[in-house]
Structure 1
Amino acid sequence: MSEILPKASERIYAPYKINAVVEVLAEQGIAAQSVLAGSGLSAGQLHDPNALTSLRQFLTVCENALALSQDPATPFEIGSRLHLSAYGMYGYALMSCLSLREYFRLAVKYRRLATPPFPAIWEEGTTTVTWRFPDRFVSPPSAELRQFLFELQLAITVTHVQEVAGFDCPPLTARVPYARPPHAALYRRYLGCRCEFAQPETQLLYDSAILDRKPKMAHQLTASLVQETCDRLLGQAKISEGASGEVYRLLMAIPGNFPSMEAVAERLNTTPRTLRRRLTLEDTSFQQILDDVRSTLALEYLQSSKMSTDDIGMLLGFTDTANFRRALKRWTGKGLEELRAPAVGR
């Protein structure tokens, strides 16, 4: 299976990939402002936990890196530094999965959360499992940027499989759809395998014997909780396409520090009045979406954590525990004691 690609202009991603590009080029003596030129981003935003970026901004930064860097190892180096811990819920879902087969499945299922410029597919054969990266981009790149992005993706994938596995498991073969470049030796250095050039498609082949191996951080409860959160971000109707989906994704991306309607409208490049009208046409409102997000998170915290009621209320933006209790009753029809999981301490 492969994921539906997001819109290039949707600002729904933390800037972790962009920050990795900036860091690698900084080591080459290239200023952050040059790498970020034309993206609409400042260096300070890369460390702002509330900053959200789009695929278009990421691609702009990659274009700049391609033009500014004289080192052909740049995309490989960026990919080798993009650890799963930087990917938020997506990364945690992959790290805690119970087998490498599950990792391959979830990496595709939730990949929309990972700033993907093109789709991914995985296929299990008798002796090999294959990562496929079709040549179908969110925004058509130049031939040079296309190669840069495929090299970056190959390095990212090898890094992630290795981190999840926790044991030495390089790919068997890499394949790319362009001619052998002068820096072909870098493929073996960073990917740990031979590479075949001028192939029909970008691919990474692994030994299928790894699929039933247990990842080093596998954890049943964590996997279930984090995957439920990822499912909410992707699979439910309330975060489908449309204005309501965009608002849901923004609010779920930074739980505990919910932006105002005015701030959300600004991030969506629209006005509060237009956003309100679009939500009304979808039979909802900003307040309804915010209440739904807070209710969902409240239930998760109450039933799966040992946080106090005061802490949960404060995390969800309530300054008074009594107001939090009343809101819970309004949202669920139940009192706090009914909602707390019996096994969770108070």
Structure 2
Amino acid sequence: MAETRLGGARPGSTAGELPPPGRPLRRPLPNQRTFAPYKIATLIDATIAAGLTAEAVLAGTGLSLADVRDPRTLTSIWQYLTACENVVRAPVNPALAYEVGARLHLSAYGMYGYALMCSPTMRDFFDFAIRYHPLATPIQQLGWRQEGDTAVWTFTEIYDDLMSRDLRNFLLRQQMMMTSTHMRDVLGAEIRPIRAVFGLADIGTTAADEAALGCPCLFGQPAHELHYPASVLDQAPELANRLTRAMLEETCDRLVGEAKMTTSVAGDVYQLLMLSPNRLPSVQAAAARLGMTERTLRRRLNEAGYTYAGVVDDVRKTLTLEYVTTTRISADDIAWQVGFSDSSNLRRAVKRWTGKTFAQVRRG
């Protein structure tokens, strides 16, 4: 499906906080199917309660209700945007965005959500949420900062060029409520934001917005933000468990690596290298296999935020850790399997990747 605007021209407005100059916004390819269908499933559940059918929500997505109910199904950003656009065109009460956000508890997010619930402190929670947000079907880029006595979540739009005004309004309200829901999941029902800041025009629903979020809502601002007292940062989530979080973090690292390798030309290189990891082709040979020049391959990798050497390292890391943790193959044999010159170089790489020795990783 071509990358066209979902709902016509959008009016000008100020997007959220941008990254430092030179660092691009993370934007998974809209058509790449890499995400579990939990957000679409939740959207359908909420809209059925509001009187819409699943077929109406899924129109144009290429998905059936059976697909959405199957946890093995992989979906794309585009399919989620299309489903949400179907909802806002219905039309429905704008408050439905908050209902969807309130239903998206951390328990719906698999390993990512469980790891967040086990964070040792809320400061760790904020940091982890940002780092692994690519696992959560991201429609906005998540960020946070501490500003005096305030902890500030920031939401930067990365697909606003693909959205109608109504869809932007719907998804930003949904994100505000999702984040508020996640905070309550780990700190208890009494925790509420102290204000919500929208880089959107006031559409005349401020009273309903404030009732849903439980705080003052400001519109026409230069960013999209949700503010909490900074004192929450030193609190411990109700299910805090440092060891469990560390174990889940390793799983999330692997999942992020797998996801990012399917969202650009890096995925093509990754799959090519996986075919013969003990005889990795040069960048010139890889480019030829992919039907392009070396210069074009390097440029396209750079545009997507990768280097050839970095993809090679990711391939070796994935295979090495799989061999170390699931087999009893010797270090010498693993080194040969993944293209290291000897086991000493392999052991140094394992230490660099994990901060642990080969023996420690093998013991688990």
State TM-score, norm by structure 1: 0.72
- In the aligned structure 1, how far is the partner of 2:259 from the partner of 2:79? 27
- In the aligned structure 1, how far is the partner of 2:268 from the partner of 2:186? 30
Instruction: Name the amino acid aligned to 1:175.
Output: V
1:261-280 counterparts in 2 under 5 A? 278=290
Question: Contact 2:38–2:108 (CA<8 Å) still a contact in 1?
Answer: yes
1:46-125 counterparts in 2 under 5 A? 46-125=68-147
Question: Contact 1:100–1:212 (CA<8 Å) still a contact in 2?
Answer: yes
- In the aligned structure 1, how far is the partner of 2:124 from the partner of 2:43? 29
> How many angstroms does 1:222 deviate by?
1.1
Q: Which residue of 1 aligns with 2:193?
A: 171
Change (3 A) 1:39 1:343: closer
Of residues 273, 281, 296, the one that matches 2:321 is 296
- In the aligned structure 2, how far is the partner of 1:129 from the partner of 1:291? 39
Question: Contact 1:243–1:278 (CA<8 Å) still a contact in 2?
Answer: no
Question: Contact 2:98–2:212 (CA<8 Å) still a contact in 1?
Answer: yes
Q: Which residue of 1 aligns with 2:237?
A: 215
Q: Which residue of 2 aligns with 1:310?
A: none
- The two structures, once aligned, show a CA RMSD in angstroms of 3.7
- In the aligned structure 1, how far is the partner of 2:141 from the partner of 2:258? 20
Identity of aligned residues (%): 35
User: C-alpha offsets along residues 251-290 of structure 1, whole Å, 9 cap, x if unaligned?
Assistant: xxxxxxxxxx9xxxxxxxxxxxxxxx54999999xxxx99
> How many angstroms does 1:234 deviate by?
3.2
> How many angstroms does 1:248 deviate by?
7.3
Q: Which residue of 1 aligns with 2:6?
A: none
> How many angstroms does 1:74 deviate by?
0.8
Q: Which residue of 2 aligns with 1:193?
A: 215
Question: Contact 1:15–1:51 (CA<8 Å) still a contact in 2?
Answer: yes
- In the aligned structure 2, how far is the partner of 1:342 from the partner of 1:245? 28
Structure 2 residues without counterparts, runs of 5 or longer: 1-17, 20-24, 276-288, 298-307, 337-342, 344-357
Change (3 A) 1:43 1:292: farther
Change (3 A) 1:37 1:245: same
Question: Contact 1:132–1:201 (CA<8 Å) still a contact in 2?
Answer: yes
> How many angstroms does 1:246 deviate by?
7.0
3-state SS of paired residue (1:205): strand
Change (3 A) 1:197 1:237: closer
Q: Which residue of 1 aligns with 2:162?
A: 140
Instruction: Name the amino acid aligned to 2:119.
Output: C
> How many angstroms does 1:182 deviate by?
3.3
Change (3 A) 1:25 1:248: farther
- In the aligned structure 2, how far is the partner of 1:134 from the partner of 1:343? 41
- In the aligned structure 2, how far is the partner of 1:88 from the partner of 1:44? 20
Structure 1 residues without counterparts, runs of 5 or longer: 250-260, 262-276, 303-323
State TM-score, norm by structure 2: 0.69
